[in-house]
Amino acid sequence: MKIVIASENQGKLREIQAFFQGMPIRVIAQNEFLVPSVEETGLSFIENAILKARHAAKHSSLPALADDSGLVVDALNGAPGIYSARYAGLDASMPRNIQKLLEDTSHIEDAKRTAHFYCAIAFVRHENDPIPIIACAKWDGMLLRESQGDKGFGYDPLFWIPTLNATAAELDTEQKNQLSHRAQALRLFVAAFSEAGLV
């Protein structure tokens, strides 16, 4: 089965492609179909994931899977949340987003720097699929005061996992693909996908 991945984020694409290795599923990046970007107008991760999946299915005429994920900082009432990729502005770079997050959390004491990564995955068989498959998961951790590690992408260098004594940016791909919010959501998705008789 061919599935279009509704993302232009190379880090996400690598993680999703690695997850599906060995399965009878061929994942194709949406840029192979020249799928234009879609404005993420949803107010939740789930709404944005469904929006992106439907958009990719419409432009590729194939089933599509979308992921909407982000960092949720408890002391910031859930920010950056669905705005994680554009926290410092629409065209802000990831280093700028990280800088803004560090500025916004500089006053928060260490014990209250709790955070989690959240991932919502939506799969549609076609653009107007009335029953999308949805899977969600989160990965708990703490927010550091400076970046640590050079693997991963996004906010990984700030996301400390106390049980591992490491940041997400210090984990190798195999470790991250076992533990991350996206890995957990993908496992739930595959179970639901199988239950629906699609694989």
Domains and CATH numbers, the chain: 2-195 (3.90.950.10)
pLDDT score at 8: 80
Which two tokens mark 93?
């770079």
Q: Is 7 annotated as a binding residue?
A: yes
pLDDT score at 52: 97
pLDDT score at 18: 81
- 88 within 8 A of 103, measured Cβ to Cβ: no
Q: Is 147 annotated as a binding residue?
A: no
pLDDT score at 199: 61
Residue of 80, 50, 61, 62 lying closest to 25 (CA atoms): 62
Which amino acid, one-letter code, is at 24? Answer: P
C-alpha to C-alpha distance for 157 and 147, rounded to whole angstroms: 5
Q: Is 61 annotated as a binding residue?
A: no
pLDDT score at 25: 87
Residue of 184, 189, 139 lying closest to 166 (CA atoms): 139
Which two tokens mark 190?
């595959």
Q: Is 180 annotated as a binding residue?
A: no
C-alpha to C-alpha distance for 94 and 82, rounded to whole angstroms: 15
C-alpha to C-alpha distance for 108 and 105, rounded to whole angstroms: 5
C-alpha to C-alpha distance for 159 and 102, rounded to whole angstroms: 12
Catalytic residues: 68
Q: Is 176 annotated as a binding residue?
A: yes
pLDDT along the chain (199 residues), means of 10: 88 80 87 92 97 98 96 98 95 95 98 98 97 97 96 93 96 89 92 79
CB neighbour class for 18 (10 Å; exposed up to 12, middle 13-18, buried from 19): middle
Q: Is 68 annotated as a binding residue?
A: yes
